[in-house]
Each structure stands twice: as structure tokens, then as C-alpha cells.
Amino acid sequence: MTKNFKLKEFECKCGCDMPLEVYENIIKLASQLQFLRDYTGRPITINSAYRCPEHNEKVGGSKTSQHLLGKAADITIQSLKPAEVFVLIEDLIDMGHMLQGGLGLYDTFVHYDIRKTKARWNG
């Protein structure tokens, strides 16, 4: 998919097939994460990206989750705390380097999505 990301990293953890219509969103999301990877020079771990409705329900995800559309990823960046990742992505969005979307700060990861409208929260 990109220099540092493989499609497998974005697939649903349950092992189901990703719908074709989700793939275009995954490509856009992967390009944003590749920019972030190149900018930081540090590996990014994708904890969760696309989720099928069944898996999303199993993990307690929102019924309107961007993960269902392949527009979201829960990530960590090597040697950076989630709060640092959150601020970094916010700054890159403000500078026009990354797409506007949702940013959620959690204890162990950051949620980033490409919904086009600004949304911020603490998990």
C-alpha cells in the first residue's frame, strides 16, 4: 500500500473480507499515516483500522464509528506518548499537512480518522 504499511494492517481483526467500497478510504488513511511516519521517522503501530459491523459491536465501538467505513485507525508511535501523538497530529492538521478529521486521545493510543469535519475527544 505504502512504503511502510501493508493492507493487512488495516484489515478487520476478525479476518473477514474488507468490502471493496472501504478500500478507497483505506488508501487515503494509509497515505495520511505514511506522511506521519515519514515526518516522525518512527514506526507506527496500527491497533485497529477497518472493523466489520460484527467486530465493531464485539469491541464496543460506536454504531457510527469511522472504523466501519475504513476511515479510522487507532495508533501508537514508537517512543511517543499518546498525548504527544495527539498534539503532533493536531499541529500537522493545522499546518495543512494532514486531513482534518477526528482525533481521540486514549490512555494507550490515539484515534485518527479522515471524516473531513473536526471532532476531538478524550476516551
**The CATH number of the domain where 103 resides is what?**
3.30.1380.10
Report pTM. 0.96
Mean pLDDT by 10 residues, the chain (123 residues): 98 96 97 99 99 98 98 99 99 98 99 98 95
Residue 66: inside a domain: yes
Residue 1: inside a domain: no
Q: What is the reported pLDDT for 116?
A: 96
Range of the domain at 80: 7-122
Residue 78: inside a domain: yes
Indicate the number of domains in the chain: 1
Residue 113: inside a domain: yes
Residue 15: inside a domain: yes
Q: What is the reported pLDDT for 94?
A: 98
Q: What is the reported pLDDT for 51?
A: 99
Residue 49: inside a domain: yes
Q: Which residues of 49-64 are buried (b: 16+ CB within 10 A; e: fewer)?
A: bbbbeebbeeeebeee
Q: What is the amino acid identity at position 118?
A: K
Q: What is the reported pLDDT for 59?
A: 97
